[in-house]
Amino acid sequence: MKKIFSILLALSLVFGLAACTNSGDNKPAPGSDPVKEPDPVVEPEPTDVYMAFLREESDVTMNFDAYGMQEGKSYGLKEFVENVNEKLNDEYGEGFMGDVSYTFLDCGLDGIPEMALNVQHFMNRGDYTEELTAFFVIRAYGTLGLKVVDHDYTYYRYTSTLNQAGFIWAGGSSGANYWGYNVRFVNANGGPTYLYSCDEIYALDGTFIPTYMLPSDRDSAPFEYIEEYKEDGNTLTIYNFEQYGTWELNTYNQHLWKNYYVFTDFYGEDVELDPEYKAYFDQIGLNVVDSGTMDSIVEDYLRDLGVTDEMVDADPVEWIKWDADWMPKG
């Protein structure tokens, strides 16, 4: 019995000592501070760098000359907007500043945001005013800062639209039966990429191509062009995938030879070509195609550039008004 009691006493001492040792591990050593958990790391929002520009805490650098601003030079928001308005005053007559607004977009749909800035300007025209709006696409380049990578405007017969994937449609009318526009987009790297131009001539009485849309160094036609128009006539749509720059006759002719011509009727259906015109178009080597073929050519061209339907069909941007003390109120 004594032996059993001695064993139980020894075991109780062992477990008691272990318990005291473990409880001491949870207590700070004398004179030491309790261990603090590190503060959570707050990651900056991807759009913070753009908001800093709007708050006039940073500048943007121009990638091109525009509105009196120079390529490679940096501007704060106020100076930027004032330059735009001053240049428009010089070109269109005395006017005044309108709203300044912004939006975020995702050029190329790569998940990295860009910002667009929209500047509104009004021209005084006596008893009425005319509005012009200019937008600028801005991209952050890390330590290189913010850069303005593209821009366009809307005024009178010329309209430009920007979608949330960085696509820009810009063009307008230069007559009652003519509409022309070009398509480009700002890619995921911030580079403007020209896609194609499209000219539409309405109300044609037949399937002729107006002579001003034909290269002047072509063989002369064995018949006389009669450029007549009627209200419910045909539409000639002309596509070209090469950006045209400086005017020079030989260069312009080379550009026109790369046109694609599509004839449709008043309802958008393909039109059978007049045999005399078709023979001539084939003879001189013009690219006259039906609308289905043209759609396939455009789709293949965009696909080769990595452009998806999701990019093309993205929603238009929605502008958010920005306020600062020096901006007009109301």
d(CA 152, CA 113): 19
Tell me, what's the pLDDT at 25? 53
Q: Round to whole Å and give the CA distance between 119 and 60.
A: 15
In the predicted structure, residue 22 carries a pLDDT above the cut 60: no
pLDDT tens-digit readout, 275-322: 999 999 999 999 999 999 999 999 999 999 999 999 999 999 999 999
Stretch (H or E) spanning 321: strand 320-322
pLDDT in tens, 216-268: 999 999 988 888 899 899 999 999 999 876 668 888 899 999 999 999 999 99
Q: Tell me the C-alpha distance between 157 and 17, whole Å.
A: 92
Task: Write down the pTM of the prediction.
Answer: 0.82
CB 82 within 8 A of CB 68: no
Q: What is the largest CA-CA distance in the chain?
A: 134
Residue 120 DSSP SS3: strand
- Direct distance between the N- and C-terminal alpha carbons of the chain, in angstroms, rounded to an integer: 100
Give the Cα separation of 172 and 150 in Å (integer).
Answer: 19
Q: Which of 4-18, 35-49, 84-98, 99-113 has the largest mean confidence?
A: 99-113
CA distance 25 to 300: 71
Residue 15 has pLDDT above 80, yes or no: no
Sign of CA dihedral 270, 168, 184, 197: positive
Q: Are 124 and 105 in contact (CB under 8 A)?
A: no
H helices of the chain, in order, are: 2-25, 48-54, 77-92, 249-256, 275-284, 291-304, 309-312
pLDDT at 328 (0 to 100):
86
Burial pattern 190-200, b for ≥16 Cβ within 10 A else e, equals bebbebbbbbb
Cα Rg of the chain, angstroms:
34
Percentage of the chain exceeding pLDDT 70: 85
Sign of the torsion formed by the C-alpha atoms of 45, 49, 53 and 58: positive
* Rounded-to-integer distance, Cα 25 and Cα 13, Å: 19
